[in-house]
Structures are given as C-alpha cells and as structure tokens.
Structure 1
Amino acid sequence: MRYDLRLRIGYRYAFPVKEARHALRICPRTDRGQSVERLALELRPTPAELAADTDFFGNATRHLRLEGAHGEFAVEMRARARVSRGPPPAHTPTLRQIAQAAERCREPEGGSPIHHLGPSRLVSLPRAARDFAAGAIGAPDTPALKAVLALARAIQRDFLYESGSTGIQTRVEETLRDRRGVCQDFAHLMIAALRGLGVPAAYVSGFIRTEPPPGLPRLEGADSMHAWVDVWLGEEAGWVGFDPTNGCLALDGHIIVALGRDYADVAPVDGVLITAGPQSAWHNVDVIPLENEE
C-alpha cells in the first residue's frame, strides 16, 4: 500500500524565544516492511544549523538550531511511503519460550530485544500490569501471537479512550487506576504488562490510516499521530506490531515513524529553548492512500 503523508506541528510562545535547539523524529522509517519514495521538510523559521542523523534505535532524526527571536516554530513533513507488511507466522512460540529466548540475547544494537525488557523513563513495571496481562492471556503456554493479540483486545475493551484525559508524563499506574487514556497510555500499559512477563516490547509512533463515516468526505488534517507496540515473538517471527487502542495487529494501515523504549525515545519534537511564559502547540496529520496507483 502507498500513502501520501503530511504532518504539521507548530508551537506559539507567549514571549519571543531567543535561541532553541530541537531534535525532530517525524520522518517515516525505511525498514520493517516500509520504504520512503519522497520526503520534504519545511521549517519556519529557517534553522541556522540543520543536520540529519540516525539515532540508536534507527530513527531518522534531524538536529537543528534556531537563532534570533521568534514567536512561533512550525514544522511540515511531506512524504510518500510504501508499506508492505504481511501477517506474522500463524505458529509462534509461547510467551514463556519467548521470555527464555530473550534472556539469551546478547546483540547490542538498538533493535535487540535486550533493550526492551526492563523499566524505562516513562514505563515502570507495576505488578498490577503483569496481573492484568496474565488475566487477559490465560494459560502461560498459549502461543504468543494469540496471547498478545488477546492482551491488545483486553486493553481496548476494558479502557476508555478519552482525548485530553492524560498528559505526556502519565504513568502506567494512573492508567490502570483510572481505566482511561489515549493511545500513548495504552501503548505504555501494554509494554509494561509484557515486559513484566519477560517479553520484549517496544513503543512505536507513527501514522494510521483512518476512514471517514460512510457517505462523508475525508476531512483534511483530521488525523493525528498514533502509538502502538512492537513485540518480539522470537527469532522466526521477529518484531510484530499490535495496536491496543484498536485491538488489532499493526499491518499495512500503520506507518512507522519512530521506535524506542517509550514515548521519551520517540517524541516528534524534543529539545531546549530560552523563553518565558506559557506556550501552545498544535499538530495535524493527513494520511492519503493511493489505491489507484501501481
């Protein structure tokens, strides 16, 4: 499947920013069943310095420095991407076998399961998360694909999606207590639940294809960035995506931008700036499927 993608992010400041340094992770990845055919970035104001890099987890990153007073910072990314991510193998090891295999891993690179097993900056491993997973999955010898999909569906069923109900720093314990949140919270919860069982799980940010209600036109800019989870299902299956917000596998309708241990590793815009007072932010996304093109 091919998509035209557009992401726009902007910040407005109460008082002019004197200087700023930012790291951007907003460009689609070129692995895990994806390729990028076109890519363009527009930054306002124009950076005094701009450098492209790839971070430890393989995410395309832009580092930039802004000089001079500015009251607004805006980013627009346009890309054409191709996604061909078929279903995972029907037969997978059990979660117990995967946990045992993960313990034996020694590969040091960012895509290794060993980096996605323990607690991270935004994901603790409360016992309640592990207990929730055990209740959703059932027998520990359930094949991993079936077990993890059952966990994703349990989160979709038992937790209320409520926009604006949480923030970036919301902890897994709060999500478990309040039984509500957004895609970021559900991804963190699923990661905590799986890591508590010894199963490697990574945070994924990206775009998801959405469809307007029947008979209504698609609204420009109505989409937003999405979050889901990549789970290591053993050497043969590798990393497989699961979407706990929608209770499904993450296949050709999910376009990966960045991967990491939690949201802190993949924030679309990160950095430091010198200013005073509050700031406001906005962002919107267009995901346009090119169904009639070869």
Structure 2
Amino acid sequence: MKYLLRHTTRYDYETSVTLSHNEARLLPRNLPWQYCENTQLSITPEPLRQQERRDFFGNQVVYFTLQAIHTCLEVTVTSQVTTQPRALPDIQTPAWESAAQLLAPGNHRHHPVKAAACLEARLFTLDSPFAQKQAELTDFAQQSFQPQRPLLPALLDFNQRIFEEFSYDPDFTTLATPVLEVLENRRGVCQDFAHLAIAALRSLGLAARYVSGYLETQPPPGQEKLLGADASHAWVSVFIPDYGWLEIDPTNGSTPNERYITLGWGRDYSDVTPLKGVMNGGGRHQLNVAVDVLPQT
C-alpha cells in the first residue's frame, strides 16, 4: 500500500508565548515492512534552533526552540509511506511460561545462544509509568494464558478477548486514567487498551512494548472520506523467542497489516508523545489535531 501521511498539530494560546523548547516524535520510521520518502516537517513560527537525533528506542526526534513571540504553534509532518503485508509467524512457538523464563534475570547464563536476542527485550518486561504489573492483570491475562499453552495462540486469544470484552469509549478515560480502572469498567480508547495489554503481559513475565502510529480508516458506505478525520492509533508488540516482535491490536482484535503505519515505539505512551515541551507564557491553550492517511495510486 502507498499512502500520503499528513499530521498537523496546532496549539492556540490565550496569551503570548515568549520562549519554548520542544521535542517532536512525528517522523515515521523506516522498517523492513515500511519505507518513507519525501518526509517534510514544517514548524510555524520558524524555530531559532532545530536538531534531529534518535532516542534510546531508535525513534527519530526533532528538537526545536522558539524565541519569537507567538500565540499559535503549528507543526505539520507529511510523508509518502509504502507498507508491506506482515504475515503471522509460521513457527511452533514455545509455551508462554518458557518464553517468560527466558526473559527472567540471570537466565542468559543457562541460554547463552538466546541471550543477545532476549537482552533488549528484557527492558520491556519492567514497569513503566503507564503500564505496571498488577495481580488483577495477571488474573485477567491467565484466562488466555493457560498452563503450557503455546505463546502465539495465547496471544491471539488475549488480543481477541480485549476486543470483544471492552467497549471503545472516548469520553470515559483521560491520559491519567489508571489501567485497573480501565479493566474494572471495560471501556477506553486504543491507548488504554494498549497499556492494559502491555501491563497484563508484563505481569506474566513477558516483554511487550507500546507502538504509536496510524491506521487507514474507511468512510461509511456511500460517503467521501473527510480530510483531517483520521487519527493517531496505538497497538502492542510482543517478543517471541526465536522469532522476534509480533504486533497485535487489541482495539480491533487484529494483527497489524499494510493499513498500519508505524511512527515509533517505547515502553508506553510517555516514550512516544508526539509533541511535548516547556514554555514561558501562553496561559490556557486549545489543541487541534488533524490527521490524514490518504491512499495513493
């Protein structure tokens, strides 16, 4: 699939801003299944300084400083993205307990051949600000992860259960809503379901990371697609020994395909916040985000 990706973030401030320092994680990654070209980043007002780097997780980060007095900040990224299908692993996966054991501290001494592959993944077994291990999450996950069940079918069942048992409700949660509250009320948005899945998998000793990106949406039958009506999306990637990282989307009960565009990944949302910074002035602000994922011929 070929897409034109366009993402605009606009802040309108109540009073003037005299100085701001910002980080943007808005540039999509080049991956074996995803190629980006003609990527452009536009910032208004024009930054005094602008630098690019890669963070700890390999995401591309743009740092910029504004010193011109302004009451509006607008950041737009455009990119031509080509994606490829991603098939499920054609392997016999080990029992999930075996995978968790390989990721446990100290086990590299007993499995030296697999140590290098598991070392990076081990970071994603640890607690992070939005995804922490909880006994209630262990109980919830174990309905899919029965004793000695192979990891892949357990993951797919777990993914489907979240899709079937939880309701998508954008009015229920905020960024600060705890995962256990999402579990208790069985409602939330893609970000909540990703954090819930990650925390539950980590509670079992598995490695799971947060993936940020976009999903091409389809308009209702007979209607045209509205510009700016798409949105950011979040899903999960889980480490499978002898295979690598498998992505699941608990919001839709599916595994990501060529309709998904990957922006970046980290331990949870806090590692891939699209735009964040500090500033002098501004007062209250209004945020508007417009996203387009437009298929190209």
TM-score, normalised relative to structure 2: 0.92
Gaps of 5+ in 2: 109-114
Aligned equivalent of 1:102: 103
Aligned equivalent of 1:122: 130
List structure 1 segments (4+ residues) > 6 angstroms apart after TM superposition: none
Aligned partners of 2:150, 2:293: CA distance in 1, in Å?
A: 34
Equivalences for residues 9-158 of structure 1 within 5 A: 9-91=9-91, 92-103=93-104, 104=107, 107=116, 112-135=120-143, 137-158=144-165
Aligned partners of 1:288, 1:94: CA distance in 2, in Å?
A: 41
Equivalences for residues 277-292 of structure 1 within 5 A: 277-290=283-296, 292=297
CA contact (8 A) 1:53 1:62 kept: yes
CA contact (8 A) 1:206 1:258 kept: yes
> How many residues are treated as equivalent by the alignment?
288
- Call closer, same or farther: CA 1:167–1:198 in 2, change over 3 Å: same
Aligned partners of 2:237, 2:87: CA distance in 1, in Å?
A: 13
TM-score, normalised relative to structure 1: 0.93
Name the Cα RMSD after superposition.
1.7
- Call closer, same or farther: CA 1:201–1:107 in 2, change over 3 Å: same
State which of 271, 274, 293 in structure 2 corresponds to 1:265: 271
SS across alignment from 1:82 = strand
Q: Which amino acid aligns with 2:96?
A: L
The Cα shift of 1:85 comes to 4.0
The Cα shift of 1:276 comes to 5.0
Aligned-pair identity in percent equals 36
Aligned equivalent of 2:232: 225
Q: Deviations over 1:257-289 (max 9, x none)?
A: 010000000000012112253211111211112
State which of 192, 202, 206 in structure 2 corresponds to 1:199: 206
The Cα shift of 1:108 comes to 9.9
CA contact (8 A) 1:59 1:259 kept: yes
CA contact (8 A) 2:45 2:68 kept: no
CA contact (8 A) 2:45 2:73 kept: yes
Q: Which amino acid aligns with 1:246?
A: N
The Cα shift of 1:185 comes to 0.5
CA contact (8 A) 2:6 2:292 kept: yes
The Cα shift of 1:138 comes to 4.3
The Cα shift of 1:22 comes to 0.7
CA contact (8 A) 1:34 1:85 kept: no
Gaps of 5+ in 1: none
